[in-house]
């Protein structure tokens, strides 16, 4: 009797888990636009250390880094 109750419970929990997982699947075509899509073709270009350093210096001079630190990275 105990084994039967355990088996019935297992089947019931497994069935509800599958039904819940099936209900949370994204609609067709929405997965690519719902989150992070990876680097674009522009970001995928290979850059040298000197190019990255120049971009950093330019961002510091223009005030972009100070702005980002004040808005995005100000902590909690």
pLDDT in tens, 8-33: 676 777 766 656 666 555 555 555 45
Instruction: Write the DSSP symbol of residue 24.
Output: T
Distance between CA atoms of residues 73 and 66, nearest Å = 10
Task: Give the residue-averaged pLDDT of 5-9.
Answer: 74
Percent helix, strand, coil in the chain, to 5, is 65, 0, 35
pTM exceeds cut of 0.85: no
**Which residue has 């990255």 as its token pair?**
52
């Amino acid at each position: 009797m105990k084994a039967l109750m355990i088996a019935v419970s297992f089947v019931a929990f497994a069935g509800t888990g599958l039904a819940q997982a099936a209900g949370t699947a994204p609609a067709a075509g929405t997965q690519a636009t719902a989150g992070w899509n990876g680097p674009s073709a522009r970001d995928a270009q290979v850059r040298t250390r000197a190019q990255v350093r120049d971009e950093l210096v330019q961002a510091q001079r223009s005030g972009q880094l100070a702005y980002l630190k004040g808005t995005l990275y100000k902590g909690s």
